């Protein structure tokens, strides 16, 4: 986040950290000259590696198009490198990966630990 905020300030934009609000992006950055808003999703990796966007982030990227940016910071531990992709939904070839977590409770657990109320 620090690398992104510094970059935005260096380029005379006003960044605001909104990551705690779960908006589908981490930083809202405004250009005071044009009032143009950048919706920035920040992904950081200690090494150079793939990043994953959540469904919410991807939907926002599709919605905001050219106003949405992916800032991928690689090698954060030693020599941070910032890669900026405008409109990642249209400009990147992402692979959809479905990951659903469910908890399967075996029937013997239900029978042995549940209270039977059948009449």
Question: What pLDDT digit, counting tens, does each position of 23-55 carry?
Answer: 999 999 999 999 999 999 999 999 999 999 999
Residue 106 and residue 100: Cα distance in Å, rounded? 19
Q: Is residue 21 part of a domain?
A: yes
Q: Is residue 114 a part of any domain in this protein?
A: no
Q: Do 42 and 53 form a contact (C-beta atoms < 8 A)?
A: no
Residue 8 within any structural domain of the chain = yes
Using a pLDDT cut of 70, give the percent of the chain over it.
Answer: 98
Give percent of the chain with pLDDT exceeding 90. 76
For residue 12, is it within any domain?
A: yes
In a domain, 73, yes or no: yes
CA distance 20 to 37: 19
Q: What gap in Å lies between CA 5 and CA 63, rounded to an integer?
A: 23
Calpha distance 101→56 (Å, rounded): 17
pLDDT, one tens digit per residue, over 66-112 is: 999 999 999 998 899 999 999 999 999 999 888 877 878 888 988 89
In a domain, 69, yes or no: yes
Asked whether residue 19 is domain-assigned, the answer is yes
Whether 71 is in a domain gets the answer yes
**Across the beta sheet with 37-44, what order do the strands follow?**
14-17, 27-30, 37-44, 68-74, 81-86
> Could you tell me if 72 and 51 are in contact, meaning their C-beta atoms sit under 8 angstroms apart?
yes
How many folded domains does the chain comprise? 1
Print the domain residue range for 17.
2-93
Instruction: Identify the CATH number of the domain in which residue 29 sits.
Output: 3.40.1350.10
Question: CA-CA distance, 109 to 60, in Å (whole number)?
Answer: 42
């Amino acid at each position: 986040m620090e690398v992104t905020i510094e970059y935005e300030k260096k380029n005379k934009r006003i960044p605001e950290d909104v990551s705690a609000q779960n908006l589908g992006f981490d930083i809202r950055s405004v250009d005071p000259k044009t009032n143009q808003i950048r919706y920035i999703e920040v992904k950081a990796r200690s090494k150079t590696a793939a990043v994953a966007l959540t469904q919410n982030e991807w939907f926002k990227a599709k919605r905001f198009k050219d106003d949405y940016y992916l800032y991928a910071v690689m090698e954060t531990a030693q020599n941070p490198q910032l890669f900026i992709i405008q409109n990642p939904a249209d400009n990147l070839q992402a692979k959809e990966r479905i990951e659903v977590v469910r908890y399967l409770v075996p029937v013997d657990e239900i029978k042995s630990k549940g209270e039977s109320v059948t009449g």
